[in-house]
Each structure stands twice: as C-alpha cells, then as structure tokens.
Amino acid sequence: MTSSSATTVHLAAYDTFADWETGYTTAHLTQHGRTVRTVGLSREPVTTMGGLRVQPDLALDELRSQDSALLILTGASGWDTGDTLAPFARAARGFLDTGVPVAAICGATAGLAREGLLDDRAHTSAVSFYLAATGYAGGERYVEADAVTDPGADGGGRLITAGPTEPVAFAREVFGLLGIYDPKKLDAWYRLFHDSDASAYEVLQGE
C-alpha cells in the first residue's frame, strides 16, 4: 500500500496521449507540493496528440506502486488500435491491488475495461456503448456522470474515471482523493474552472 507520505504522482506518457486531458490536474498538483513524473513504455521520447515532445522520466518497468501516490492514464489512439498500451493497464492492476489509486480518462477507460478492472467498480467514460464494445462485464456498474471515484474495497485502491470532455471534473476527483483542497475549496475550484464562476475565486484566495 502507498505510504501516506508519498507525494509523487505518475503520469503515463505514450505516443498520441491526449495532453489537454490532464492539464488542470498536473498544473494544480505541482502548485500544491506534488511532484509529477512521466512514465513511458521506455525512456524514449514520445509525441503527444498536441504535437509536444515528452521525454519520460522513467520506464514502465522501473515504476513501483509503493513509490507513488497515484497513476494517471490519459486517452490515446493506441488504446483502440491494438495492445501496445496494455502494459499500462496491467500496471494499473498492480497499483489497485496494492491499494494505490489510479485515475483514467477517455480511451484509458477502455484499456482498463479490457483488463477487467471495471467489472466490479463504479465507473464512467465517454459513453456506455464505447466500453460495451470492449466486451467487458461491468456494464451494470457504469454511471452517467462527468467523473466517478470508486472507493475500492478489501484493500484495493480507489479508481477515478472520466470521459474525454471532462478534464475539469477529472481534476476535481483527483484533488478530492489526494486532499489537495478541503471540500469547500474543492467546490469553489470546480465552479471557477468549469463554470467560470468569478465568486468562487474569493473562496480559493482564502487557502
């Protein structure tokens, strides 16, 4: 199980990963004392869907769940075009099995579905039939929501899922899970960045 003192969050980095899906998440994590490290299949550079070149900090076979507070998986074309990214879904299984949380957005949810990780956990994605096409057995646990956090059970890690249009809600769930903001400020943060509610800014300024 992850140490309560773990402050490093690991972000999976692979070709065509959807860089905008975690922009809110990683920016605010680093502003609140967390370290974000990228993890690739190897340490070779990858290119995001937005055309940015990223040099992974470590290779997947170097990643240990006990050194991490959270593993983040983003969407990418590779989730739907073969098994290239399946090792990241297997890594997610290892994290969850050892009590360390995982957060998956967009196509990464399909990768987790294929790995069987959504069969017994509350989850969401782009649409229910997207996951149904994977042949997974978790359709009854699908939730129509912007983002979902399954609490985990029997020592398993908590799992966050979200669809591709919900990067702000995805970040909200991550911040709530890691205790970045108290509930009142978390609500204000979401209202500010999701709803452009200027009144929420004053609440955040009190942090």
Question: What residues are annotated to the active site?
Answer: 106
Question: Strand order in 58-59's β-sheet?
Answer: 58-59, 35-40, 8-12, 70-73, 102-105, 159-162, 147-150
Which residues in 29-158 belong to E strands, given as ranges? Answer: 35-40, 46-47, 53-54, 58-59, 70-73, 102-105, 147-150
CA distance 203 to 154: 37
Cα-based distances in Å from 193 to 25, 92, 138, 186, 199: 12, 28, 31, 11, 11
